[in-house]
Chain A
Amino acid sequence: MSTLHIHVEGIGLWSRQIANFDALQRVLGGETPAAPAMRPDAAALSPNERRRAPESVLVAIEAASQAVAMSGRAVEHLACVFASAYGDQATTDYMCRVLAGRPTELSPTRFHNSVHNASAGYWTIATGCHAPSSAACAGSASFGSALLEAAALACADRRPVMLVCSDTAGTGPLGELIGCTIAFGCALVIAPAAHTDITLHLTTRAASWPDHPVLPDDCATWMRSNPSAACLPLLALLARGHGECVLAISEQSGLHVHKEPVA
């Protein structure tokens, strides 16, 4: 078997251009929504944590909070998978600069913020969640791979799972090399589907991969500017209510997503 069936219960989204899924739907409908605040609310964090947390964590937690609110799920039992292609590049830039000159002056807080599971740690602490949490990456295939990881967890253990995929803009020499120039985060709460709703089918990469319908220019720009925006074909499918797309999960494999229109 190479097929999983899931249902999407909640969707969250944050970038400076689109503050939530409603804003994305307006963009998909041809509108230009007003730009939101420069910093995400990330209201799930206490004020003290919000001050200590880097932007990467705020973006992830804002998207997560939106998706959980839409799903209505109890957060303390919700397993979660946090993905990011590059982790916190600004923190990596800071660490490498300090290590190159004054290594013994490294900030302990910024060191523990540098772990790839920082967002998962802040989230589970803020929400009192003892459920399994993970942090993952797979380069440009990070969103597709993490969706497979989350869907496998949901279907294998028959439990709802939150997936978050986010990246922030790089800075310094590392930022110049990587070329991730905007912050973008998305989140889904998924659950195993009792009946066919969304079908995820593992497939090998081939010329016959179905292309996703053309997205607005803004979406194409975001996809070039941030690897986590690879979620947009799937989010557009969810906004439409039906369709198909293929998400890369490795150099040779993809995840074919198919959603039947609701009768």
Chain B
Amino acid sequence: MRVTTLPLAVSASTTTSALGLGLDAHLDALHRQRSGLRTNDFSSAPLACWIGRVAGLETYPLPAAYAQWDCRNNRLAWMGLNQDDFLAKVRAARQRYGATRLALLLGTSTASIGATEEGYRRLDGERLPDDLHCTAIHTPHSLTAFVAKALDIGGPCLTISTACSSSAKVFASAERLIRLGLVDAAVVGGVDSLCDSTLFGFNALELVSPEPCRPFDAHRRGISIGEAAGFALLERIDAHTDTPLRLLGCGESSDAHHMSTPDPDGIGAELALRDALDRAQLDISDVDYVNLHGTASHKNDAMEAALIARLFAAHTRVSSTKGLTGHTLGAAGILEATMTLLALREGFVPGNAGVHHADPACSAHFAWHNEARALKVALSHSFGFGGSNACLVFARVVADNAP
């Protein structure tokens, strides 16, 4: 039996990354192809690489009421929530539906592990130091627990942590809860912040580039790790008929291949893509733009370039935006969903930043530079460790028209 996604209105969204605070900063950076990457000045020990660091978090403590959750990841969440009137828009939704009819679904890969790392650097014997001896920040649910309190959301609150697909998969979970009538609206999103675990972890896997990452370059040398926060408010279309941006489909699959490398045949990625389009009742030829996972790792980009060449119609344009932001891991899904929505709203294809010499495996679908083009249907790809794949379908519709 075919299951279709309930089309939902994306009635608010925001994102914060190395490109800046909020949607306008991201739109400006995309238009100018301005990279937010800089040499690594973050890790607790030297590591020669480039990072996408959000400026100002060190002097942006949480309000006193949320002091138990104060750490870099939750500061980034708070900074993100304070852009684009997002707090006010959620407050309005809460008043309209009631706190318990709102769900919160957030993705993160490492949550506030940076605070745990700091505690271990400053151990008091075999005990975390007093100022960090607090359960609230040493748990993977820290982000969602904090945001639930900050937004006063009383419905289901769940953290999805499937590595780099985390904050794409939250859209699928939210859509199911709304389709079943369990809630009326959902705040989705994700936050991941720079920490030693991921910098030295990906370094141990020999996946970190010593230079700014170059997705789909013939001589790419690996990823640049970044940090980001992003959020979106999803509601039924009948409650928001004038909202032009829509979520039409969410696809999910598993690679069943390897813990830390994608299936080179892209079987799992294609399953997620086809699942998303089937649910949206769209044909692959309906797709105008795909924001690729495009991490600049050898294996991901080879798999994804082959997938694009194999499946998509000639008019579909594709690009990775990680050359500007770095790979924001568990926040990549929401950051790139937000940039895909910006591309739909503004009618342009963001260029695939960072490339010097395009990989010859890349087909003519790749947009190496920005292109002005009216877009109706756009996808965002997110693939994670453990073979966790997600694909989101977004659309821009003329007001009052069903998609």
Contact = CB atoms under 8 A, between A and B. Distances in A.
B158 A158 contact: no
A125 B3 contact: no
A135 B161 contact: yes
A137 B111 CA distance: 11
Contact of A1 (B133, B169, B181, B387): B181
Given A99-B197, A116-B109, A156 B3 contact: yes
Contacts of A208: none
A121 B119 contact: no
Contact of B200 (A104, A131, A158): A104
Contacts of A145: 156-158
Interface in B290-308: none
The binding surface of chain A is classed by DSSP as: helix
B145 to A, nearest CB: 6
A206 to B, nearest CB: 11
Interface in A95-113: 95-97, 99-100, 103-104, 106-108, 111-113
A132 B205 contact: no
A159 to B, nearest CB: 8
Interface in B147-178: 148-149, 154-163, 169, 172-173, 176-177
Nearest to B198: A111
Contact of A149 (B117, B127, B173): B173
Query: Which of B144, B255, B256, B388 has the most chain A CB atoms inside 10 A of its CB?
Result: B256
Contacts, number: 239
A249 B159 CA distance: 12
Chain A interface residue number, banded: 35 or more
Contact of B386 (A99, A118, A253): A118
The binding surface of chain B is classed by DSSP as: mixed
B120 A173 contact: yes
Query: Which of A95, A115, A129 has the most chain B CB atoms inside 10 A of its CB?
Result: A115
A119 B390 CA distance: 18
B253 A130 contact: yes
Query: Which of A99, A129, A204 has the most chain B CB atoms inside 10 A of its CB?
Result: A99
A148 B174 CA distance: 12
Contacts of B176: 152-153, 156-157
B63 interface: no
B214 to A, nearest CB: 23
Contacts of A117: 161-163, 384-386, 388
A124 interface: yes
Interface string B103-125: 00000010001001101110100
A250 B101 CA distance: 13
Interface in A142-193: 142, 145-146, 148-149, 152-153, 155-158, 172-174, 176-178
List the 7 closest pairs (A to B, CB-CB), nearest first: A121-B386, A116-B161, A111-B201, A132-B252, A1-B181, A96-B120, A252-B154
15 contacts: A92-B113, A99-B200, A104-B200, A104-B204, A117-B161, A117-B163, A124-B254, A130-B271, A136-B160, A152-B176, A158-B1, A174-B138, A249-B157, A250-B156, A253-B154
Interface of A: 1-2, 4, 85-87, 92, 95-97, 99-100, 103-104, 106-108, 111-118, 120-122, 124-125, 127-139, 141-142, 145-146, 148-149, 152-153, 155-158, 172-174, 176-178, 202, 204, 249-253
Interface of B: 1, 3, 43-45, 47, 99-100, 109, 113, 116-117, 119-121, 123, 126-128, 133, 135, 138-141, 144-145, 148-149, 154-163, 169, 172-173, 176-177, 179-182, 196-197, 200-206, 252-260, 267-268, 271, 384-388
